[in-house]
Amino acid sequence: MPRPKKRMAGAAEPDKKEPAGKCTKIKNLGETSTEVENSSPQKTSASKNCGKNLSSYWLMKSEPESRLEKGVDVKFSIEDLKAEPKQTACWDGVRNYQARNFLRAMKLEEEAFFYHSNCKEPGIAGLIKIVKEAYPDHTQFEKSNPYYDPSSKEDNPKWAMVDVQFVRMMKRFISLAELKTHHQAHKATGGPLKNMALFTRRRLSIQPLTKEEFDFILSLEEKEPS
């Protein structure tokens, strides 16, 4: 998950000094590194057209409520990101191969929804953008970190992170329940959320979105909850 240019959701500050430019962390939401890297999971609408750039829009999950993982509070909300210097943090702690590959596919200035997960009311809280493309996630090398991976080597790191910056809060919170209502309706009608990864690949903390999915969700801001 994220971590401020210090550390966003999902991990504690490392016990060794971070190099210049390192960010806060955001936590990894329930993913495991046991998934096979080259597996071919069910495709979402945004990943059907494979290519170097799978998507230009994303949904990124982080936990807004306190939860200890190996003694470290992995909480990181969009409010925490907004409070960071330059409102910027690094999205570290991802330990799932497909989610990592999505991080690697991200390009500068691409937009993402900041999604509050594993909380009383999950849903989309705001917009963020990518301000630094993928680079090695330092937490994989920190023995005191919940996301330490002893199998990853500094000369051949397994895990990556990006830096994100706060753009704005949503005009209103778009809840998971509301999104699910549209997803179920769109499965029958062929609407834009019919194949949304939030429901077809729900455990992934990094998910691609099509432009149609992204635009439809933005349009919900102007409407009353269904």
From the candidate CATH numbers 3.40.640.10, 3.90.660.10, 1.10.287.610, 3.10.590.10, the one assigned to the domain spanning 57-172+205-210: 3.10.590.10
- Residues 91-102: tens digit of each pLDDT: 999 999 999 999
Give per-10-residue mean pLDDT for the chain (226 aa). Answer: 50 33 53 40 48 78 96 96 98 97 98 98 98 98 96 97 98 98 98 98 96 98 90
Q: Are 74 and 10 in contact (CB under 8 A)?
A: yes
- Residues 17-65: tens digit of each pLDDT: 333 344 656 555 445 443 433 333 344 555 554 344 568 999 999 999 9
**CA-to-CA distance for 220 and 210, rounded, in angstroms?**
16
For residue 153, the one-letter residue type is K
Q: Are 128 and 165 in contact (CB under 8 A)?
A: yes
Domain ranges for the chain, please list them. 57-172+205-210
Tell me the pTM: 0.83
